[in-house]
Chain A
């Protein structure tokens, strides 16, 4: 199953041929986990442009309008293709070369699972990460240190856990 999801995401399987995957994903916990894993990496690597709230909203509306979502219709596929065409992100990310497929599978799974009352928790997105205020790390204010490490190359910032994450 995972191989099939991967093949779909990598564009090795036509989305039209993947209806059975959507069905299986709906019922299989393992497959749902595999999806969420690919989805997370894809999201994280691709940046915000193509994950805009507007896009999600549109896609959700579109999906809700469809009576049967198991077979993606031409309009939906072309809309996704259009978004994909407009995005400037590279398509080399190996585990999920086709973002469009990820989105289609992903939102269908979420949608269907929530409808069927299944227990796959939707992935939380964009939750604020609190940082400690005031002086830390024996004196260098965290807010500036974090901003520095976020934007300027520094070897150390990865290997020693930043104090702002300690609670």
Chain B
């Protein structure tokens, strides 16, 4: 069985190797990006990458294994209090040291580097165009550079460096419209793994600390049949991908939470009735790549947060129309 899986892995590797990255036409470039989206899931690799945003830079050690049926990964964020992030498919568990405790957090379906692209690129094709750049070396590997540029001012642009041999994303930089880098993630060292061992797939347990589950925020799926409001004039290319009713820290009443995506960037919209003891919030803010916009309409607080330009969060907030 093990042997069989190994053969399959090598077959996948060979597939990527045969994709000689001399793509020039538009279709070929999208093909390269498609392989990149798949490679992050289908290959087994380990390495260290740096995440950088503003002044902050963070080394992260990654081990990722695909054994033919399941996808396992461990990310260790190497700062003063190393956090371990384990994922199995789209389920994620984070062991997060906080003072004398380790908080265990659960998450679902997150796009972690290098798997930041969805395997279905249709939404991205609608909203971005792709252009080839010059070949460069990243983490000692030959890479092809691609520019992913938005067709409007509602989203950021990206620059991708893709391993010429294996198709894996080696480096990704996000830029705003003034071409300032907002966020950069790049492998510093990288190696493919040819093992199926999972002995690394377990947390380092510190016996001196107690482990506690994060208090899970209650969320209820929302069928989207809203009573008091509708959405009109959403920014182009953003589609609602999720809707729920949740408790938000510090709020007594549940908040409606909608999530929009253009394929790469995500935006959250929160709608809640304004209660007497809570001060309404109005304003906008941009911190790094994250935009925030708050407004008050017809007795409701509307709040939008997302990794998009400010104009986009404002447009989403203004798309909420309350029925009279």
* A44 contacts partner chain B, Cβ-Cβ < 8 Å: yes
A161 vs B53: C-alpha distance when bound (angstroms) = 12
Give A136's nearest chain B residue, CB to CB: B287
A94 close to B250 (CB less than 8 A): no
B106 close to A44 (CB less than 8 A): yes
A165 vs B203: C-alpha distance when bound (angstroms) = 20
The answer to whether residues A153 and B86 also contact, given A140-B287, A142-B249, A145-B305 and a CB cut-off of 8 A, is: no
Stretch at the interface among B9-17, B37-45, B213-221: B213-221
Stretch at the interface among B143-151, B229-237, B262-270: B262-270
B268 close to A151 (CB less than 8 A): yes
Q: Which residues does chain A contribute within 8 Å of B185, judged by CB atoms?
A: 155, 159
Nearest CB on B from A139, distance (A):
4
* B77 contacts partner chain A, Cβ-Cβ < 8 Å: yes
The answer to whether residues A156 and B106 also contact, given A139-B287, A147-B257, A148-B305 and a CB cut-off of 8 A, is: no
- The contact of B96 among A140, A141, A165, by CB within 8 Å, is A165
Q: Give per-residue flags for B254-294: 1 if the beta carbon is below 8 A from chain A beta carbons, else 0.
A: 01010101000011101000000000010001011110100
Q: Which residues does chain A contribute within 8 Å of B251, judged by CB atoms?
A: 143
- On chain B, the number of residues with a Cβ less than 8 Å from chain A's Cβ atoms is 75
Stretch at the interface among B22-30, B111-119, B124-132, B159-167: B111-119
A133 close to B217 (CB less than 8 A): no
A145 vs B306: C-alpha distance when bound (angstroms) = 9
A154 vs B267: C-alpha distance when bound (angstroms) = 10
A160 vs B289: C-alpha distance when bound (angstroms) = 13
The answer to whether residues A152 and B306 also contact, given A40-B203, A41-B93, A140-B285 and a CB cut-off of 8 A, is: yes
A94 vs B210: C-alpha distance when bound (angstroms) = 24
The answer to whether residues A129 and B58 also contact, given A37-B205, A147-B246, A156-B51 and a CB cut-off of 8 A, is: no
A157 vs B198: C-alpha distance when bound (angstroms) = 26
B113 close to A37 (CB less than 8 A): no
A45 close to B93 (CB less than 8 A): yes
A158 close to B201 (CB less than 8 A): no
Q: Which residues does chain B contribute within 8 Å of A131, judged by CB atoms?
A: 249
- The contact of B51 among A44, A159, A165, by CB within 8 Å, is A159
Q: Give per-residue flags for B43-63: 1 if the beta carbon is below 8 A from chain A beta carbons, else 0.
A: 000000001010010101000
Nearest CB on A from B280, distance (A):
12
Q: Which residues does chain B contribute within 8 Å of A41, judged by CB atoms?
A: 86, 93, 202-203
Chain A's interface size range is 35 or more
Main secondary structure of the interface of A (DSSP, over half): helix
- The contact of A150 among B93, B103, B107, B198, by CB within 8 Å, is B107
* B187 contacts partner chain A, Cβ-Cβ < 8 Å: no
A127 close to B212 (CB less than 8 A): yes
* B324 contacts partner chain A, Cβ-Cβ < 8 Å: no
* A121 contacts partner chain B, Cβ-Cβ < 8 Å: yes
B292 close to A140 (CB less than 8 A): yes
* A48 contacts partner chain B, Cβ-Cβ < 8 Å: yes
Q: Which residues does chain A contribute within 8 Å of B93, judged by CB atoms?
A: 41, 44-45
Which 10 pairs from chain A and chain B are nearest by CB? Answer: A159-B51, A152-B266, A148-B268, A153-B111, A44-B93, A139-B285, A127-B212, A128-B215, A143-B249, A140-B292
Which B residues form the contact surface with A (CB < 8 A)? 51, 53, 56, 58, 60, 69-70, 72, 75, 77, 79, 81, 83, 85-86, 88, 91, 93-94, 96, 98-99, 103-104, 106-107, 109-113, 116, 183, 185, 198, 201-203, 205, 207, 210-217, 219, 242, 244, 246, 248-251, 255, 257, 259, 261, 266-268, 270, 281, 285, 287-290, 292, 303, 305-307
Beyond the given A41-B202, A94-B198, A95-B198, please list 7 additional residue pairs across the A-B interface where CB-CB is below 8 A: A33-B205, A40-B205, A48-B216, A126-B216, A141-B303, A154-B266, A167-B99
In the assembled complex, 26 residue pairs joining A and B whose CB atoms fall closer than 8 Å, in A order, are A37-B203, A40-B203, A41-B93, A45-B91, A45-B106, A92-B69, A123-B210, A124-B210, A126-B212, A127-B215, A128-B215, A145-B292, A145-B305, A147-B257, A151-B244, A151-B268, A153-B110, A153-B261, A154-B110, A155-B116, A155-B185, A156-B183, A156-B288, A158-B110, A160-B51, A167-B99
